[in-house]
């Protein structure tokens, strides 16, 4: 792995995960391989290639990943085939050059360090925690980018920039990727590599990431806590009402939290966490009680009388007491204390005397 640091104590740890950091393989040159082999045969370069790499490249059907890697390693030694080699590795060179430009754009951001990874195995060797990860959409191996994104979500709470030079990462595939991984809206962004080669575009993308990492961590932890609570012993939530509720809260982008906190609640001083509890709770109740089966049953209850049970023979049940208590009072789940904003000045800065 390679690190690039602009400060001795970087505050932005960024990773780029792309298989172009590895040596090229047969798949990466497939479109130009037959023409290359034909040219080797016509120009009489097979002996030079065989001497340098141990393979003559006369038959494209016999070329394997190791042959391509060896050819790439000895590229500078094969001046007689330079033009053919440039054509063979043209697409791979373009991918490498694009990554170099992306790194340049990242490095414009202050206090940043950049780490390169070529695949999931390489990535797992790192003990670093990353705030932003530029992830290639089509890594080698089935669903490899999905598996890496899941690790990034679980272990790093990182902002993921999904990038690709392939057209199938757009539209529905982008949404499908986010849902497969379970990423929250606003913590994930797709940008084509053709845009990211502009350093200014990379810089703008980095500005989407909250400067305070706790913003990401707190919201991720809330949504994960809700999902774990509602799923119980299962791996994922089930039931139309609960699934619908989780889909809604997962699709809340960061700007919606900002809207609630800084515009809706700022003047009245209502803590965001308490407000979210009420807001999310209302939506979950609505999801449950508006299903057809529940709504019809409630309508049927409207018409019933229970006079045959009067007079009551005993005290109300503990269940009824619990229901009434929940509707009349709020449980204290956190210790009493000042509002977290109590010591902030009008300008939003913490008061030194507080």
* Poorest-pLDDT segment among 36-50, 58-72, 333-347: 333-347
Global pTM value = 0.76
* Poorest-pLDDT segment among 107-111, 248-252, 255-259, 269-273: 269-273
Task: State the pLDDT at residue 53.
Answer: 92
**DSSP assignment of 319-346:** HHHHHHHHHH-----S-----TTTTB-T
Contacts with 101 (C-beta within 8 Å, 6 or more apart), sequence order = 196, 197, 198, 199
pLDDT exceeds cutoff 60 at 46 = yes
CATH of 3-21+93-206, one of 3.40.50.2300, 2.40.180.10, 3.40.190.10, 2.60.320.10: 3.40.50.2300
Query: What does the block give as tokens for 17?
Result: 């995960």
Contacts with 132 (C-beta within 8 Å, 6 or more apart), sequence order = 12, 13, 14, 15, 158, 159, 160, 161, 206, 209
Where do the domains of the chain lie? 3-21+93-206, 26-88, 241-305+314-328
Task: State the pLDDT at residue 157.
Answer: 82
Q: Is 108 helix (H, G, I), strand (E, B) or coil?
A: coil
Query: What does the block give as tokens for 88?
Result: 């063979």
The CA-to-CA distance between both ends of the chain, in Å, stands at 45
pLDDT, tens digit, 9 for 90 and up, residues 220-246: 889 989 988 998 766 678 888 899 999
Task: State the pLDDT at residue 336.
Answer: 67
Q: How confident is the model at residue 10 (pLDDT cuts 50, 70, 90)?
A: low
Please write down the HEC assignment for all residues of 211-249: CCHHHHHHHHHHHHHHHHHHHCCCCCCCCHHHHHHHHHH
Hey, how many other C-beta atoms are within 10 angstroms of the C-beta on 62?
11
How far apart CA 330 and CA 167 sit, in angstroms, is: 51
């Amino acid at each position: 792995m390679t690190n690039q640091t602009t400060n001795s104590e970087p505050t932005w740890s960024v990773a780029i995960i792309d298989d172009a950091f590895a040596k090229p393989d047969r798949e990466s040159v497939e479109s130009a391989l037959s023409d290359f082999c034909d040219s080797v045969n016509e120009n009489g370069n097979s002996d030079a290639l065989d001497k340098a790499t141990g393979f003559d490249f006369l038959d494209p059907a016999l070329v394997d990943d190791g042959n391509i890697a060896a050819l790439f390693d000895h590229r500078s030694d094969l001046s007689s085939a330079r033009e053919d080699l440039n054509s063979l590795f043209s697409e791979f060179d373009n991918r490498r050059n694009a990554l170099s430009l992306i790194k340049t754009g990242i490095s414009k951001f202050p206090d940043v360090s950049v780490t390169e990874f070529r695949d999931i195995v390489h990535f797992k060797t790192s003990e670093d925690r990353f705030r932003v990860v530029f992830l290639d959409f089509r890594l080698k191996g089935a669903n490899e980018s999905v598996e890496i994104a899941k690790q990034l979500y679980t272990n790093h709470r990182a902002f993921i920039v999904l990038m690709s030079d392939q057209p199938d990462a757009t539209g529905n595939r982008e949404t499908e990727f986010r849902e497969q991984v379970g990423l929250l809206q606003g913590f994930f962004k797709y940008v084509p590599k053709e845009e990211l080669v502009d350093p200014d575009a990379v810089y703008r993308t980095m500005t989407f990431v909250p400067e305070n990492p706790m913003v990401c961590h707190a919201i991720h932890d809330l949504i994960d806590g809700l999902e774990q609570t509602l799923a119980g012993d299962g791996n994922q939530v089930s039931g139309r009402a609960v699934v619908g509720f989780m889909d809604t809260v997962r699709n809340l982008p960061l700007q919606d939290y900002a809207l609630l906190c800084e515009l809706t609640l700022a003047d009245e001083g209502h803590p965001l966490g308490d407000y979210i509890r009420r807001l999310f709770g209302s939506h979950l109740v609505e999801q449950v009680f508006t299903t057809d089966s529940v709504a019809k049953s409630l309508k049927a209850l409207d018409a019933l009388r229970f006079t045959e049970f009067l007079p009551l023979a005993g005290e109300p049940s503990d269940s009824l007491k619990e229901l009434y208590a929940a509707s009349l009072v709020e449980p204290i789940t956190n210790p009493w204390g000042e509002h977290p904003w109590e010591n902030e000045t009008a300008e939003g800065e913490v008061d030194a005397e507080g």
